[in-house]
Amino acid sequence: LCVSAQLQTPLKRFKLPSNLESSNLDIPPGKGRDFIISQPLEETGQHILRVEVAYHAFSFNAPNSIHGDSMNEQQSLMFGQQQKTLRKFYRFNVSSPLNIKALAVRGGGDASVFVSISATNTSKEGLTIYDCDFQPPFGLIAEKINDGLVGQEKGATNNLRKKAVDLYDGCGVLDSGSTRR
């Protein structure tokens, strides 16, 4: 049994790594094996997973003789096994659950730029943000402002909201349709 998998995204096609691609694994009749191949998906849109399984099927209807002679070992193997291939295609859609927008404002007299990022949950279910990281472009440095502040503050609408530092450092649940800045 040899298993190979290939993923086709909207922009590219690549083979998925598998330790079963060049192995000869025996599976007894009526038994099965489960395998997991993991690959991060970064593109949205329709994806196609192609799985190919090559296996040997044994035929017990081989003739007893060829041209009146008994079969040698090579001929016996030739009639006893047939290599077969099974291909399956799985189509699925990948969507982005977050709509992320950024706003940059230049600071006063220095060369500072303040960046505000809002994340809106566009999925139908709640999401848990378990890690936030801001990576500036090459040549720029990111610094946290008011690093010691914790808790909540009143916004322009007098509603309590989390401070940006809390979202940058912490975790939280983002309900369907809600936005955090």
Provide the residue ranges of all domains of the chain, joining segments of one domain with +.
Answer: 2-94, 98-180
Of 79, 99, 71, 94, nearest to 176 (Cα)? 99
Please tell me whether residue 82 adopts helix, strand or coil conformation. strand
Query: Are the C-beta atoms of residues 47 and 94 closer than 8 Å to each other?
Result: yes
From CA 48, how far away is CA 31, in angstroms rounded? 27
Q: pLDDT (tens digit, 9 = 90+) per residue, 88-143?
A: 999 999 988 888 888 888 876 777 777 778 888 888 888 777 777 777 778 877 77
Query: Are the C-beta atoms of residues 114 and 104 closer than 8 Å to each other?
Result: yes
User: pTM of the entire structure?
Assistant: 0.51
Q: Which of 16-20, 27-31, 47-51, 53-57 has the highest mean pLDDT?
A: 47-51
Query: Are the C-beta atoms of residues 81 and 55 closer than 8 Å to each other?
Result: no
Contacts of 62 (CB under 8 A, 6+ apart): 71, 76, 79, 80
